[in-house]
Amino acid sequence: MTQKHTDLITFKGSPLTLLGKQVQPGDKAPDFTVRKGLTPDSAYTLASDAGKTRILNVVPSLDTPVCDLQTRHFNQEAANLGQSVAIVTISMDLPPAQARWCAAAGVENLTMTSDYYDHSFAKAYGLLIDELGLLARTVIIIDPDDTVRYVQLVSEVAEEPNYEAVLVAAREVLSE
């Protein structure tokens, strides 16, 4: 039976239900398969950026103001973090919508991926919002050894993450 959590996130103050078990720092990062394009051969998995620190920028939908701001922010930070970091945006948006959004926003430094097809990421990380069929706003850092090092589940879906906390955690992983 799938775990249900009604005490972790809200949308404008109203509780939402998260399905599954959320990952925690210290956990081995569960593998997942999301897509960078429309075809199955456009898959992205943890192995796609093996040996790098991965920052998973998880957003409900790029066509909303907070997701737009969050993803643009990480696009700007990507250059400052260097080649040993991969920032991967994961949403339920279809790849063509993601590509259209990136072109309009000038976002070029992130790997854009969709969990629309089989919710592999949502299920593995416990981040599917039952009422909306979208991902919960979260930032996860996974080290080069595939260990979850940092998780920031944003408790209010309509708010941005604490970027400074994410960057401090990322720099800590990178300095090891």
Torsion of CA 135, 137, 143, 146, to 10 degrees: -20
Residue that is written with structure tokens 């456009």 in the block: 42
DSSP for 80-129 reads HH-TTEEEEEEESS-HHHHHHHHHHHT--SSEEEE-TTT-HHHHHHT-EE
Q: Would you list the domain boundaries of the chain? A: 4-174
Express each pLDDT in 88-114 by its tens digit. 999 999 999 999 999 999 999 999 999
User: Is the pLDDT assigned to residue 1 strictly greater than 90?
Assistant: no
Q: What H or E segment, with its residue span, contains residue 78?
A: helix 65-81
Structure tokens at 40: 């199955």
User: Is the pLDDT assigned to residue 37 strictly greater than 90?
Assistant: no
Instruction: Output the pLDDT for position 9.
Output: 94
Tell me which architecture the domain covering 4-174 has in CATH: 3-Layer(aba) Sandwich (3.40)
- Catalytic residues, by residue number, are 67
Instruction: Output the pLDDT for position 39.
Output: 77
